Structure 1
Amino acid sequence: MIRHKRISLGLLASAVIAAWSPAGWAADPFVVRDIRVEGLQRVEPGTVFGYLPVRVGETFTDDKGADAIRALYNTGFFKDVQIRAEEGVLVVQVEERPAISQLEFVGIKEFDKDTLRRSLRAVGVAEARYYDKALIDKAEQELKRQYVARGYYAADVQTTITPVDRNRVSVVFNVDEGPVAKIRQINIVGNKAFKEGTLRDEMQLSTPNWLSWYTKNDLYSKQKLTADLEALRSFYLNRGYLEFAIESTQVSITPDKKDIFLTLNIKEGDQYKVSDVRLAGELLGKQEEMEKLLQLKKGDIFSSEKLTQSTKAITDLLGTYGYAFTTINPQPQIDKEKREVALTLMVDPGRRVYVRRVNVVGNSKTRDEVVRREMRQMESSWFDSEKLTQSQARINRTGYFTDTNITTEDVPGAPDQVDVNVNVTEKPTGQISLGVGFSSTDKLVLQAGLRQDNVFGSGTSLGLDVNTAKSFRTIALTQYDPYFTVDGISRSTDIYYRTSRPLYYTGDQDYKIVSAGGGFKFGVPFSEVDTVFFGIGYERTQVYTSVNTPAQYTDWLNKIGKSSGDGINNFPFTIGWARDRRDSALVPTKGPYTQANLEVGLPGGDTQYYRASVQQQYFYPISKSFTLALNGEVAYGHGYGNTPFPVFKYFYAGGIGSVRGYQTSTLGPKDQNGNPVGGASKMIGNVEFIFPLPGSGVDRTLRLFTFFDFGNVYQEGQPLSFSELKYSTGFGMSWLSPIGPLKISMGFPLNRDTNDKVQRFQFQIGTAF
């Protein structure tokens, strides 16, 4: 007689398990002679065997059957599980859940689809995973949650499940994002010390204004609100309000889910002053050095920002002595009656360590040595946090990587050692560029370039550049090796062909200067911020004149015994020095920049001359958003050895980059027709007050500025005279646009003469070199 017993498990798993229990079905235990699994498609039989609580040769009981069904169902692999016995053979019949073959999103604009896939994987929904209706519902809710967090309260998510072959399904999330909710009103309740407008200026969220199209700060999101609450907390803590608290936040939405009303209830508390600041703990005999770094003094209004700066400065100081794991624990003692706080900074320097090894990871193309040569932290030397900071900055300045992350790692079994891990993320360093620019002087400018900044991962760059500006056309081939020697001496090589027309805008299109040449330049670093460079080259220049060419130019050709179009050979030698302490070369906000250059036409050429210039810039941060920029430049040229100063080395001024409000390159000496001819010396000064667009926060890609410019160009033999300076003032805007840096200015000359050429509105797209 064949004994047959069977149980199944579906969505009502608990009821079926109960049916397997001794109360629901009683059968005699039996010894399992064999185990057979039926219905598998993708799951391996071994997976099922691994979840069974019984093996061949063991006794099968009701309890083990219930445990087996429960375990197999909990894997999530199966929609149904049946167990039966056939003459001592335990048969496990399963029906697998469909697998997700494809996961797609339709209607998604706000999110990156790969980001959504990662978030849904966290809730159990992903391609190649098993389909589960409950998890799909959970995924829908997760998508809606993410949209709500960004202010899309009307977002709707519908899921389409389509069966495909081999027991698989396609899952498509159809999303109707709807409009993002806009903030109609922001109310701050409980403020007494500061006006509501002052507090709202600290927030990123705002009601709609004329700049909302750009900043989008009138669009509500939970992340922005969280950041704004922290900004308000920091604002009060930095002004001594230790008891400040945000008691509640109400976010109300209109029935059509388009408008948001935001109310913040705050408690300011009292303002506290610092009654004492002292250091305690293990000070390593450096208490005096540490005290000089303290930003808070007795009698100051307490500031959380200054406290953080103080602890960071002390941590950095100890880091330069090899203490990589310094912790500083501020311990405040608050006197509410006096409204004072005494601060004790408990210093624990930890153990002193040295660096065993520097590991470079992430550089699949760039050679290790390209990264290592920028490291200032050496192996087998004491850990130095300042050198690590310098190393990271130098690696980032190479331009080969989008990100550099330097971390330390303990060495197992060696408490006095750490490994330094330099993790870099490479970026494409080759580029083919085709660009169109426009300036008020040159009109349409076509540019093309082919450049590879990291040839074969060596750090060497090669480039070909073409510029078609009518007043200045060039084609140049350049090569730059930042480590021509192991000591960090750089070498640049260039070959060029240039045509410039200084008088193009006056109508004299026949006068032009054609130069072809090349040369070498070497840069010798003397410190982290100082570089001395020198170079030599060969240049052949032809000056073409016409009947309209100023007499100064034709007289110069006659003096050196040349005619229009004759070749003029020169051997320019250059030497210079630069010191750069700016925080950014593109949008600096603090730090000085100094550069001095000297170019000498060596004997043996057709002209002997020298051309010197000095430039000094300084950027002073008035606040996080406002910057004062100062620039001064003086240049002077003269001939020697009985040869006059070459006209093709003349200086020019006027326009963007010198004195705005005057037409480009029109200041200084004029010919008999009133046309500018350039000069042998110049003096330029600029003062700019730079600030962000209202409502754009600390965004530095779009900035406004007001300016005051002065300068002029002087003819050879004329002293630099302050009385002849030209002045202008005005305002403008700079924007790092997708097609290149854009600068617009509206300048107003303050002391123009009748023969000065004025051009109030000026703009330029692209960077001039």
Structure 2
Amino acid sequence: MRKLKIFFVLFIVSLSVFAQEEGTNFSIYYSSPKKYTIAGIDVAGIRYLDTNVLIQVSGLSVGQEITVPGEEVTNAIKKLWGNQMFSDVRIEATKVVDSNIWLTIYLQERPRLADVNFFGVSKSERDDITERVLLLKGSQVTDNQLNNAERIITSIFHEKGYLNTVVNIVQRDDTTQENSVILDINVDKKEKVKIEKIDYHGIDHLKAGTLNKAMKKTNERGIKNFFKTKKFLEDKYKEDKGNIISKYNEKGYRDATIVADTITPLANGRVKLDIYIDEGDKYYFGDIRWMGNTVYPSDYLNAVLGVQKGDVFDQKTLDKRLNEDEDAVSNLYLDNGYLFFNLEPVESSIKEDTINFEMRIYEGNQATINRVIIEGNTKTHEHVARRELRTYPGDLFSKALIIRSVRELSQLGHFDPEAINPVPIPHPEDGTVDIKYELQEKANDQIELSGGWGARMFVGTIGLRFSNFSVRNIFNKDAWRPLPTGDGQTLSIRAQTSGKFYNSYSFSFVEPWLGGKKPNSLSVSFSRSRVNYSANNYYSSAYSPYGTGYSSYYGSSYYGSGYNYTYDTDESDDQIQVTSSIAVGYGYRLKWPDDFFTMYHEVSLQHYSLKNMANYYYFLNDDDGDGSGEFNNLSFKTTFGRNSIDQPLFPRSGSEFSLSLQFTPPYSLINGVDYSNTDLTSEERYKWIEYHKWKFKGAWYTPISKNRNLVLHTQVEYGFLGYYDKNRRSPFERFRVGGSGMSGYNFYGADIVALRGYQDYSLSPTTGSNIYDKVTLELRYPVTLKPSATIYVLSFLEGGNAFMDFEDYNPFNLKRSAGVGVRIFLPMFGLMGIDWGYGFDDVNGDSSVSGSQFHFVIGQQF
């Protein structure tokens, strides 16, 4: 008001000035106000603002009748000051003719912001401040803006635990620009404030330790909280006070409240929290009466609810059993078409410590699915997504089937599982509902250019995997962008080499919906590998790279007597193994026991061509002594499995298991040959190898955190290779256990089984084992689950072993290991990872193959 009085006096004085020009010789006296009509208004001193807008803001207008002196001019000055855009405001009468008056509004704009400097903060903190405090260059600098900036900056650091932060904003003129200022923002964060002690007052029924556990981010100093943060964060403290009340509610104290709390600074720079609680009374569930239910009887709904009279009252449990759990009461209706169902739990009466409920149900009519809409499939053809859905037009609405449809879409691998969004669009007017599936395509074709180290050699890999291929569009030139895609077929081409030692080529094709009407898959694969053991000193230096001790297994007790175990192979002759394989498979889904079950059948033919391989296969030490031969493996395989995991790359829930039997015809039982005859040559004995091979794998995924990101992965495995004739045990198809499990280095026609913390294949002899078992416990946590990259870290406990015969088999004799690792899935390159494992046990008295081990993973999971 003092400023207004000063400018009002200036206005009076300016109106009393004597001038020589016409219309300027006038006198105005405060004691005798006079009415004038505004004949003109000018604005002076403005560079950036619109003068017409400023005149409108003042409230004055040409033609307006005002009293001079009077309130109209005073109010105009108030309005212009109120915008806080000016450092000086005054209004002068520049001309008076009869009853007409001309006014000039003189304004001085506030300085504009030229630059901002920060002191005492890091780059990330500066970015945080800049994002939340809008200090735009060129904008006017007002007192309110500066006060707001100081408040927000202080709040930012309070949130981070710097409760004693001091912010000082200094203005200084910018000498390079007229009417501009530079702001220097000085931040003294001080030390972070930590919590020394938390005292609870008024607690009788819950212990302080229980309340401390309820608070997630507010922890006092002490041994129990050694690994927890002790910083005091105001926003987290507010959340944790709510967690305290939630904990009381879970225990039946529904009226519990925090009546007061204090934060007391201590001399050591820490704070002490005092929390005053009114616990209230403990309540129990009473009678539960169902109203409006006609579809399900009350007794059945009570059984589904699972809440008994006399149970401690817990609102959280009640809400979960009514609406949130998978088998909640609401889902009972929603899975049966009752989309318009509504359930309202009402406390009908409270008698002393007992709460009686009425469950008021509006069932409505069953909703029928009208349309099923698919959006976002820019690459994948619509029929590929639609055939995986479990919701069809004309069927009753079912929440469970929508969830199952989302799971099936995730399993395809063509869409981002985190972005699949089913949207019901109800039409109550006609009792129908449209279901829209919003999808987001993700790249899942892969180009593999990689190198791996295993078995003391470097192996390079180049491969192409097209996971959404379209065979029917091969001859459609418009579909090549750059390849025909969209039909969900998988085409893989892969080549590996380590130079002269190892070369491998493979091709595979999978059609998941043969004929397009049923989910019956057809797979075709071909591979060829060539190993020249003479080209690698590691293999050619000795029969067993992991030591000796297994030769007795292939002595007279195994094959009979008469074998020559000398190794007179000419070193100039290469030791070569060539393996060629072709396989055709057919798979289909089962409807019983449920439709998560599948069956897969495969017939395969493998041909082994061995040259000078006596040092590696003892059955080749026959009379001719050249270690060569041609051998065949015609086998049939059946796999019975079940897979209910929610998504393939980072499963959070569900399980998967498979039981497979692979077998050859029992030649020894039908050809009449006496294989105990030691005069048989290796080719006569093994021209067509025979065996039966059993494998079991089971894996479970269990989320153990509320956000479902921390996942426990449990896995068990077992494998057994059997025979029809003990004198004709298969020298191929065994198990080689230990190391990274990189199956690309499968030089012996064996199954490669990972066991981290041990060297590759170190738990099996060179020729492989007939039995293995393995147990894995793994904790997984995602770093990112974006379509461009899926990354998660893990820690593991693992145990496993390999055995030659049932006489040696001991399921509790496990070689143990533990470690950590990371997995990275890039759409263009597939799965990659690295593990560090520590093996705790010796293998056959050899400690060099265990201990600290690094393992690289390319292309497969454990």
- So what's the TM-score if we normalise by structure 1? 0.70
In 1, the alpha carbon distance for the partners of 2:5 and 2:385 equals 61
Output the amino acid matched with 1:139.
Answer: A
Counterpart in the other structure of 1:5:
none
Contact 1:295 1:309 in 2 (8 A): no
The whole-number CA distance in structure 1 between the counterparts of 2:331 and 2:503 is: 50
- Is the deviation greater in 451-460 or in 401-410? 451-460
Q: Deviations over 1:674-726 (max 9, x none)?
A: x45213x434253759799xxxxxxx97777767x565444xxx6x5685545
What is the CA-CA distance between 1:314 and the residue it aligns to?
Answer: 2.0
Distance 1:49 1:356 in 2: 61
- Count of matched residue pairs: 725
One-letter amino acid of the structure 1 residue matched with residue 767 of structure 2: V
In structure 2, the CA distance between the partners of 1:365 and 1:724, relative to structure 1 (3 Å rule), is closer
Q: 1:311 Cα deviation (Å)? A: 1.2
Distance, in Å, in 2 between the alignment partners of 1:507 and 1:589 is: 42
Q: Cα gap change, 1:639/1:446 in structure 2, threshold over 3 Å: closer, same or farther?
A: same
* 1:120 corresponding residue in structure 2: 133
**Residue 763 of structure 1, CA deviation:** 6.0
- Asked whether 1:254 is paired with 2:266, we answer yes
Aligned residue in 2 for 1:695 = none
CA contact (8 A) 2:837 2:854 kept: yes
| Contact 1:236/1:244, CA 8 A, preserved across alignment | yes
Matched, 1:30 2:119: no
Q: Comparing 572-581 with 487-496, which one deviates more in the overlay?
A: 487-496
Preserved contact between residue 556 and residue 647 of structure 1 (Cα < 8 Å):
no
More displaced, 136-145 or 246-255? 246-255
Greater Cα shift, 79-88 or 512-521: 512-521
Larger radius of gyration: 2
Aligned residues of 2:758 and 2:839 also touching (Cα < 8 A): no
Letter in 1 for 2:132: S
Q: For the residues of structure 2 that align with 1:322 and 1:647, how far apart are their CA atoms?
A: 61
Residue among 306, 309, 312 paired with 2:317: 306
1:345 alignment counterpart: 359
Aligned to 1:238: 250
Q: The residue matched to 1:732 in structure 2 has which SS?
A: strand
1:107–1:271 distance in 2 versus 1, CA, 3 Å: same
Say if 2:370 and 2:434, in contact at 8 Å, map to a contact too.
yes
Is 1:386 equivalent to 2:400 in the alignment?
yes
* Alignment of 1:279 onto 2:290: yes
1:551 aligns with 2:618: yes
Structure 1 pair 314–582 and aligned structure 2 pair: CA distance change class (3 A):
same
Amino acid at match of 2:735: F
In the TM superposition, 1:74-153 aligns within 5 A as 74-75=82-83, 78-83=86-91, 94-97=107-110, 108=121, 116-121=129-134, 125-126=135-136, 129-153=139-163
For 1:4-58, what per-residue CA distance to the aligned partner results, in whole angstroms no more than 9, with x for missing partners? Answer: xxxxx9x9579758988998995533254x6655555554566446646465555
Q: Return the match for 1:728 from 814, 822, 825.
A: 814
Residues 84 and 106 (structure 1), Cα distance of their counterparts in 2 relative to 1, 3 Å cut:
same
Tell me the amino acid that sits aligned with residue 331 of structure 1: E
Deviations 1:377-405 (A, max 9, x none): 56787654334434555556647548437
* AA matched with 1:649: E
Q: 2:263 & 2:369 partners in 1: Cα distance? A: 52
Which of 768, 781, 787 is equivalent to 1:678? 768
Structure 1 residue 317 corresponds to structure 2 residue 407: no
Q: Give the fraction of aligned pairs with identical amino acids, expressed as a percent.
A: 19
Task: From the superposition, tell whether residues 630 and 99 of structure 1 become closer, same or farther in structure 2 (CA, over 3 Å).
Answer: same
Task: Work out the CA distance in 2 between the residues paired with 1:387 and 1:25.
Answer: 88
Q: Matched residues in 1 for 2:212 and 2:350: separation? A: 29
Q: Give 1:651 shift.
A: 1.4
Aligned-partner Cα distance in 1 for 2:349–2:231: 42
**1:154-165 superposed matches below 5 A:** 154-159=164-169, 163=174
Instruction: Provide the residue aligned with 1:617 in structure 2.
Output: 699
Retained in 2: the 8 A contact 1:652–1:713? no
Question: What secondary structure, in the 3-state scheme, does the structure 2 residue paired with 1:218 have?
Answer: coil
1:559-618 CA distance string (max 9 Å, x none): 9x9838x8x888988664542234676776764321244667899x99676755332234
- Indicate yes or no: 2:734 matched with 1:650: yes
Q: Tell me the CA shift for residue 142 of structure 1.
A: 1.2
Task: Name the SS for the 1:29 alignment partner.
Answer: strand
Following superposition of structure 1 onto structure 2, how do residues 632-671 of structure 1 map, counting pairs within 5 Å? 632-637=716-721, 647=731, 649-654=733-738, 665-667=761-763
Cα separation, partners in 2 of 1:57 and 1:353, compared to 1, 3 Å:
farther
- Tell me, what secondary structure is at the counterpart of 1:301? coil
Distance 1:322 1:278 in 2: 21
Alpha carbons 2:57, 2:80 under 8 Å: kept: yes
How has the CA–CA distance of structure 1 residues 57 and 385 changed in structure 2, closer, same or farther, with 3 Å as cutoff?
Answer: farther
What are the residue-to-residue correspondences of 1:743-762 with 2, within 5 Å? 744-745=837-838, 747-748=840-841, 759=850
User: Where does residue 506 of structure 1 map in the other structure?
Assistant: 546
> Residue by residue, what CA displacement relative to the aligned partner does 1:639-664 show, whole Å, maximum 9, x if unpaired?
999x9787553212356877788765
Of 595, 601, 606, which residue of structure 1 is paired with 2:658? 595
Q: Which amino acid aligns with 1:615?
A: K
**Distance verdict in 2 for CA 1:105–1:210, change over 3 Å:** farther
Matched, 1:183 2:195: yes
State how 1:212-611 maps to structure 2 within 5 Å.
217-255=229-267, 257=269, 259-268=270-279, 271-281=282-292, 284-285=295-296, 287=298, 289-312=300-323, 313-320=328-335, 321-324=337-340, 326-331=342-347, 333-336=349-352, 339-349=353-363, 376=390, 383-393=397-407, 398=413, 400-401=415-416, 403-404=418-419, 406=421, 505-506=545-546, 529-531=596-598, 548-552=615-619, 554=620, 563=628, 576-582=639-645, 591-597=654-660
Decide whether aligned partners of structure 1 residues 556 and 181 sit closer, same or farther in structure 2, where only a CA change above 3 A counts. Answer: farther
Change (3 A) 1:737 1:621: closer
The structural deviation recorded for 1:754 is 6.5
CA distance in 2, matches of 1:438, 1:363: 39
Structure 2 CA distance for aligned equivalents of residues 17 and 412 of structure 1: 67
Matched residue type, 1:224: K
TM-score normalised by structure 2 residue count:
0.64
Task: Call closer, same or farther: CA 1:328–1:53 in 2, change over 3 Å.
Answer: same
Aligned-pair CA distance for 1:151: 1.0
- In structure 1, the gaps of 5 or more residues are 1-8, 669-674, 693-699
Structure 2 counterpart SS, 1:30: strand
Q: Distance in 2 between matches of 1:147 and 1:358?
A: 50
Question: In the superposition, relative to structure 1, how do residues 119 and 650 fare at CA in structure 2: closer, same or farther (>3 Å)?
Answer: same
Cα deviation, 1:731-758, whole Å, max 9, x if unaligned, reads 7354558994646455458xx8769997
